[in-house]
Amino acid sequence: MKSFGEYVGKFGDAVLKDNVRCLQMNMGYVCNLSCRHCHVEAGPDRREMMSMTVVKDCLRFIESADINVIDITGGAPEMNPNLRGLIRGLRKLKPAASILLRSNLTILNEPKYAKLPGFLQENNVDIISSMPCYLEENVEFQRGKGVYSQNIKMLQKLNRLGYGGTGPKLHLVYNPGGNFLPAPQNELDFAYKESLGERFGIVFNNLYTITNAPIGRFRADLEKKGLLEGYMNLLADNFNPANLSRVMCRNLLNVDWQGRVYDCDFNQVLNLPIAVRDNYIGSITAKDLAGMPVKLGNHCFTCTAGAGSSCQGSLNNKAG
Ligand code: SF4
Ligand code: SF4
């Protein structure tokens, strides 16, 4: 198999950082779940959490940069005690910015977090939640027993708060349950809306399809089953050069719980930090990053295969 670098050289120009418009903050690897596909290998035994010092340095970066989207992820970011402080700080700084929280939803059912949905709604925080299928069996295969019914309960509660309707946006994420590429995003968007609407009265804005990256727990699972090489070939065989100009790392900066910066969450997991002199969010400006080459590797085939993939779904099939 040819390397991703060889494909880039053959089909396109180098991938360079453009204006950074989105800061993706990984609040740490602690999570109440241990999903099979988790690329950060999050779980209840992890201890990494972003401190308030790093949160404040992120806020300073956001203030000085042209950031209009803040994408909060983890682990389960709800389990970081600095989440509310971050959101209050963001709203003070950027009243009109889009703030997205990636939630597994089950965590919001725990009594400790019962008031969090209301807080998120009041602060106009959009929610993006992974829902690997609209059918119970497939969700529980990836995420564990009992997850499906908890997700349904929470989606209904969020709808009552106005999410997915007149209030903040509510998006769902589909990722394949194995070593195959996602079906077209618009088709799945329709199927999810029909199924969840008819059976549970649930409404949501968009369904995003995300291709599984061959890293973390998913990679280990493929290796164990002898399927890794075949999956890498599938991604490479479906390389679509048109996606090179649309990959999310051109406009996104990812920061880990310690404040180190990367081109994306995958590069964070693979420990491929951006090669700036002092790789810390408090020491850099957006200008330091403009024009820098993105650190690429064979995992990047994930983003360019077929319809393309990003943290906000397919690259050429946005659901609106
Ligand atoms: S995929 Fe999300 S919900 Fe599942 S273990 Fe990883 S961070 Fe937690
Ligand atoms: S894996 Fe990361 S660095 Fe590679 S193309 Fe995708 S977003 Fe860019």
pLDDT tens digits along 2-30: 899 999 988 877 899 999 999 999 999 99
Q: Look at residue 266 in the predicted model and tell me its pLDDT.
A: 96
Report residue 175 CA to chain centroid gap.
Answer: 11
Q: Which ligand has the nearest atom to the CA of 267?
A: 2
Compute the average pLDDT of residues 47-60.
98
Separation of CA 304 and ligand 2 centre (Å): 9
pLDDT number for residue 318 = 47
pLDDT in tens, 151-177: 999 999 999 999 999 999 999 999 898
- How far is ligand 1, taken at its centre, from the CA of residue 35, in Å? 5
33 lines ligand 1 (CB under 6 A): yes
What domains does the chain contain, in order, with CATH numbers? 18-213+246-295 (3.20.20.70)
Q: Is 196 in the pocket of ligand 1 (CB under 6 A)?
A: no
Q: What percent of the chain has pLDDT over 90?
A: 83
Q: Tell me the CA end-to-end span of the chain in Å, nearest whole number.
A: 35
Q: Give the SS3 label for residue 64.
A: helix
pLDDT digits (tens, 9 = 90+) for 207-216: 999 999 999 8
**Which atom of ligand 1 approaches the CA of 40 most closely?**
6
Interior/surface letters 197-236, b for 16+ CB within 10 angstroms, e for the rest: eeeeebebbbbbbbbbbbbbbbbebbeeeeebeebbebbb
Q: Atom of ligand 2 at shortest distance to CA of 303? A: 6
Return the DSSP state at 25. E
User: Ligand 2 in contact with 265 (CB < 6 A)?
Assistant: no
Whether 40 and 270 have beta carbons less than 8 Å apart is answered as: no
The number of CA neighbours under 13 Å toward the Cβ of 163 is: 29
Residue 39 vs residue 212, higher pLDDT: 212
Q: Is the pLDDT of residue 319 over 70?
A: no
Token readout for 118 is: 């209301």
CA-nearest of 163, 171, 164 to 120 is: 163
CA of residue 148 to ligand 1 center, whole Å: 14
Ligand nearest to the CA of 129: 1
State residue 159's pLDDT score: 98
Residue 145 is predicted with a pLDDT of 79
* Residue 263 CA, ligand 2 centroid: distance in Å: 7
Which DSSP symbol is given to 95?
A: T
3-state DSSP call for residue 98? Answer: strand
Query: What is the distance in A from the centroid of ligand 2 to the CA of 119?
Result: 33
State residue 320's pLDDT score: 35
Q: What residues form DSSP beta bridges with 239?
A: 305
Rg of the chain in Å (alpha carbons): 19
CA distances from 99 to 71, 87, 125, 174, 187 (A): 6, 8, 5, 20, 27
Taking the CA of 262 as reference, the closest ligand is 2
Helix, strand, or coil here: 29?
coil
Model confidence at 73: pLDDT above 50: yes
DSSP helix/strand/coil, 254: strand
Q: Sign of the C-alpha dihedral, residues 219, 224, 225, 226?
A: positive
- Provide mean pLDDT across the span 226-247: 96
Q: What are 107-157's pLDDT values in tens digits? A: 999 999 999 999 999 999 999 998 877 777 777 777 777 888 889 999 999
